[in-house]
Amino acid sequence: MGSNFSSYEQNNTSILKIKSRRGEDLLYRLQLDLDNSFAEKQVDITYNRNVLCNNCKGSGLSQGGIIEPCPQCHGTSEIKKTSGMFTVSQSCPECNGYGEIAIRPCIHCNGNGYKPEDITINVDISKFIHTGNKDVRNVTDRIIVRGYGNCGFRGAPYGDLHVIPQN
């Protein structure tokens, strides 16, 4: 009985880790015009990111839908194949490595829990501006805008947006 409990606990642990998967970070390459970059300290950027589905609130389920462990990987999120003395693990193709599947998925987001959306935000680019002083310490190669990447899996936190200047 102890080994069954341990296996059950391991499966639940892997599912819990998956449920709290933070959203992906996004990269935005900002074209800076050298003539105007010194005058403008704020810039609006528009990009596409995944946001939580308003209909299912990120659950990926229609009303009355449920989440069940994947029947192929049994909730572990991976499939193990053994050949001789070698064992290879790969993401489960049935659940795409999530370890679970939606029964009666949301029709608005196809069970993903998110939808693509264009967003415009204002970014302070003053940290990109170099004054010519070799001792400037606040010049950076990127600005990280926290929480403006893709949404997380099933309500987990959003990733970040990395804005990188290019001439």
Can you give the pLDDT at residue 51? 95
| pTM of this structure | 0.68
User: How many angstroms separate the CA atoms of 66 and 55, rounded?
Assistant: 15
Can you give the pLDDT at residue 4? 28
Can you tell me the mean pLDDT for 109-133?
Answer: 80
The ranges assigned to domains in the chain are 2-166
- Which range (8-12, 23-27, 75-79, 101-105) has the least confidence? 8-12
User: How many angstroms separate the CA atoms of 39 and 128, rounded?
Assistant: 12
Can you give the pLDDT at residue 97? 85
Q: How far is CA 17 from CA 7, 65, 95, 113, 118, in A?
A: 15, 21, 15, 17, 29
Any residues with CB less than 8 A from the CB of 109 and at least 6 apart, and which? Answer: 53, 55, 56, 60, 115
Name the CATH architecture for the domain at 2-166. Ribbon (2.10)
Can you give the pLDDT at residue 20? 58
